[in-house]
Amino acid sequence: MRNRTVKIISIITAALMLSTFVSAAFAEVLGGFSQINSYSDQTYADVSQSDWFWGYAGFAYEYGIMTGTADRIFSPNGKLTVAEAVTVAARLNAAHYGNAIDPNPGNVRLAASDARAAYPVTGNGGFDLSGEYELSGAKTGRYIRSSGLAAAVYSSEDVQWFLPYLAYALHEGIISENSFSGRYFDAATREELAYLLYRALPDCYGKINDISPLPDVNTGSPYYPSILALYEAGVITGNDEFGTFYPYSNIVRSEVAAMVSRAINTDLRVRFKLNPNIPLKNLYFSWKYPRYGDDYSLNLQISYYDYNYFNVKRRVYDYTVYATDDADVTGLSTLAYTLKSIAEDNGYTSAYDIAAFVSAFVQSIPYRDDMAAKGVAEYPKYPIETLFEQGGDCEDKAALLAKLLKLLGYGTVLLVSTDHMAVGLQTSGNGNLSYGGANYYYIETTEPGWRVGEVPSGMLGVGMEVLYI
């Protein structure tokens, strides 16, 4: 058996975490803020002095930035909506800069919001190769998300409370008309809250920590500068010993209270050190090539940061997203070229053989149904997740293979029917499918043994949507 070892660290090369709670010994409460409420054990029935957030909830309440969700109820584990996050940012900005928030701003019209609708995929690809295997257990109800635009007008009674803060945030440049695609009543993510906190007080975050790069925040993200500034200012410290941020996770009210308190009171900001030890998961893969040929294996190490980065992302149903995200390019390129090197070292040097060798690697990853693995009927995964979890269904494995082949310079597309997904490999020959002036070989990924260009009998004559990546 021929074996290689490769390490994937795509997103992060350093880590951080709170090592000691050392208060910054300089100015306390920022200018403009004053105590307007009194806080005690009786203020909230669901907050006690033994809770880590007790003081933060009290500080945010005393300075009028956060109040409860009902009489004497703080809801520390409740999710904060984007509307509530904008409200917090507006209150911070108005207090510090001495501005007033107009309680009667009138209707507030924003730019078009992102209105998404799902529709069944259609296609006209006809396969003409013979097959010898009927797919079983294929999922049904495959949908691809389309995007449309709809004007957003917020004026109904149920959102009247929010309009003054929305209008203020727009006027002061905290947000723009296009911010958050009109999703104001969805749960806010951690990165969205950090962005708003920074935009609310842009000149109030002095650097006390050397933090770069961030553990699980892509430097290309529009939120990266804001999040980094809050880490460096000691407002954010991360969620574990490595300071992992989980940017796409929803943020709860207790966490918001802590960030708000540190933003207002510089004595609450935290100095912390970096932990340079990146946690890795050791994975083992084995496969055959050709169909009944030699055994090959690969020891793969994947950073937990890389996995967490993708694992907390929202699931979308534009499947091209999973094969085109830039954050995994470095790590997957390393894997793709390692597989190519193994193939060439063993005499498989043609373009066809290299593509087939990489396909055999992906085919060897166990097929894992979403309902059994995730408890939901449909849960598309990013390639790093499929590798890290060592399992995936047809769209997961197809996205992984298409990405690996694309990184090696092949022309690849995703082929989607109403209940299945495969990969199309562009060829100068006849292929199995012609679309847009190009020919493609069909590649089945669900299980080992399928040759490039071999089509399962259950897919013969099935219409396939071609998704370019």
Q: Is residue 459 part of a domain?
A: yes
- Once rounded to an integer, what is the mean pLDDT over residues 393-405? 96
Residue-level pLDDT at 143: 25
| Last residue within a domain, chosen from 215, 243, 271 | 271
Greatest mean pLDDT among 101-110, 212-221, 449-458 lies in 449-458
Inside any domain, residue 427: yes
Domain hosting 169: range is 22-107+155-271
> Which one is predicted more confidently, 209 or 434?
209
Both 353 and 228 in one domain: the answer is no
Dihedral over alpha carbons 445, 449, 455, 459 (to 10 degrees): -60
For 188, the token pair is: 């806010």
Which one of 271, 291, 306 terminates a domain?
A: 271
pLDDT digits (tens, 9 = 90+) for 336-382: 999 999 999 999 999 999 999 999 999 999 999 988 888 888 899 99
- Could you give the number of structural domains in the chain? 2
Q: For residue 4, name the pLDDT band (cuts at 50, 70, 90).
A: confident
Residue 460 lies in a domain: yes
Both 237 and 329 in a single domain? no
Helix axes 394-407, 351-363, angle to 10 degrees: 150
Q: Are residues 262 and 319 in the same domain?
A: no
CA angle, 436 then 442 then 446, to 5°:
135
Together in a domain, 249 and 352: no
Ranking 112-116, 177-181, 412-416 by mean pLDDT, the lowest is: 112-116
CB-based burial, 202-229: b 16+ in 10 Å, e otherwise: eebbeebbebebbbbbbeeeebbebbbb
- The mean-pLDDT minimum among 72-86, 120-134, 220-234, 261-275 falls in 120-134
Rounded to whole angstroms, the Cα distance separating 251 from 248 reads 9
Q: How far, in Å, CA of 400 to CA of 394, rounded?
A: 10
Percent of the chain scored above 90 by pLDDT?
55
pLDDT value at 118 more than 60: no
Give the confidence band of 25 by pLDDT, cuts at 50, 70, 90: very low
Q: What is the pLDDT of residue 120?
A: 28
Residues 87 and 163 both lie in one domain: yes
Q: Evaluate whether residue 309 is within a structural domain.
A: no
Residue 127 pLDDT > 60, yes or no? Answer: no
pLDDT at 18 over 80: no
Q: Is residue 128 part of a domain?
A: no
Quick check: is 13 in a domain? no
Helix (H) or strand (E) holding 58: helix 54-62
pLDDT at position 458 is 86
The SS3 call for residue 362 is helix
Q: What is the mean pLDDT of residues 27-47?
A: 92
Evaluate whether 68 touches 245 at the Cβ level (below 8 Å): no
HSE value, Cβ hemisphere, 13 Å, CA-based, for 398: 27
Q: Are residues 462 and 359 in the same domain?
A: yes
pLDDT at 113 over 50: no
Most confident option among 315-324, 371-380, 441-450: 441-450
Distance CA 319, CA 52 (A): 41
Task: Please check whether residues 198 and 330 belong to one and the same domain.
Answer: no
Q: Is the pLDDT of residue 420 over 50?
A: yes
Q: Is residue 356 part of a domain?
A: yes
The whole-number pLDDT of residue 299 equals 95
CA distance 296 to 443: 20
User: Is there a single domain that holds both residue 348 and residue 240?
Assistant: no
Do 321 and 260 lie in one domain? The reply is no
Please report whether residue 292 resides in a domain.
Answer: no
**Which is nearest to 215 in space by CA: 236, 188, 200?**
236
Average pLDDT over the chain reads 82
Tell me the helix, strand and coil percentages in the chain, rounded to 5. Answer: 30, 20, 50
pLDDT at 79 over 90: yes
pLDDT on residue 157: 58
319 plus 240 within the same structural domain: no
CATH code for the domain of 368: 3.10.620.30
Domain final position from 271, 298, 333: 271
Instruction: Outline where 288-327 has alpha helix (H).
Output: 304-311, 320-324
Per the model's pLDDT, the better-predicted residue between 81 and 183 turns out to be 81
Are the C-beta atoms of residues 452 and 352 closer than 8 Å to each other?
A: yes
What is the rounded average pLDDT of the residues 317-345? 90
For 135-149, what is each residue's pLDDT tens digit?
Answer: 232 222 222 222 333
Per residue in 166-220, pLDDT (tens digit) is 999 999 999 988 788 777 888 898 999 999 999 999 999 999 999 877 777 777 7
> Is 258 found in the same domain as 323?
no
**63 and 204 fall within a common domain:** yes
